[in-house]
């Protein structure tokens, strides 16, 4: 179902100078995540939501009741496809990896490489190769800048 929606949704968004980042239909909600070079603002989200809603009402590609959710990927964005991983090279990533016959492994590190089937994370100075089809869940990690703490004391 989602694959059938991807091409027309991507085309509609391209006409608005927007890119489709992710498309997912789950739990009665069609999640459409959009991006644009330079970032997404509220106006772009509103315009995309209205255009997609009108197209969905007219084309009626999804049987039954569902909710449309249009959003930007945010600071910590999910990584579900090989393209998502390739787009996050150089960023800090956290993921859960299923391993045959072993406990699920949680990794966090810099994503240093990504292909169609694997990704490489640098964790504690060591490169770890992960098969994308073994990734249960992955997302980028937003790192806040250095924090400064100042202490003031009052003498009196």
87-105, pLDDT tens digit by residue?
999 999 999 999 888 888 9
63 lies in the same domain as 97: no
Place of tokens 């089937």: 117
* CATH number for the domain that contains residue 106: 2.30.30.100
1-10, pLDDT tens digit by residue?
667 899 999 9
Indicate the pTM of the whole model. Answer: 0.74
The dihedral formed by the CA atoms of 110, 112, 115 and 118, expressed in degrees to the nearest 10: -60
64 lies in the same domain as 105: no
DSSP string, 40-70: --HHHHHHHHHHHHHHHHHH--S-S--EEEE
Cβ-based neighbours of 115, under 8 Å, separated by 6 or more: 82, 86
124 lies in the same domain as 67: no
Which residues constitute the domain of residue 130?
82-140
Query: Binning pLDDT at 50, 70 and 90, where does residue 155 land?
Result: very low
Final residue of a domain: which of 71, 99, 128?
Answer: 71
In a domain, 22, yes or no: yes
């Amino acid at each position: 179902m989602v694959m059938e929606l991807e091409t027309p949704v991507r085309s509609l968004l391209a006409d608005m100078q927007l890119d489709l980042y992710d498309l997912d239909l789950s739990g009665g909600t069609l999640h459409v995540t959009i991006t644009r070079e330079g970032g997404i603002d509220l106006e772009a989200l509103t315009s995309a939501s209205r255009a997609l809603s009108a197209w969905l009402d007219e084309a009626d590609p999804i049987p039954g009741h569902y909710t449309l959710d249009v959003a930007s990927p945010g600071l910590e964005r999910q990584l579900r496809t090989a393209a998502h991983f390739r787009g996050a090279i150089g960023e800090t990533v956290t993921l859960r990896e299923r391993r045959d016959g072993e406990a699920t492994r949680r990794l966090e590190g810099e994503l240093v490489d990504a292909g169609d089937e694997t990704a490489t994370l640098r964790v504690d100075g060591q490169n770890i190769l992960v098969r994308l089809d073994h990734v249960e869940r992955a997302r980028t990690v937003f790192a806040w800048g250095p924090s400064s703490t100042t202490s003031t004391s009052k003498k009196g």
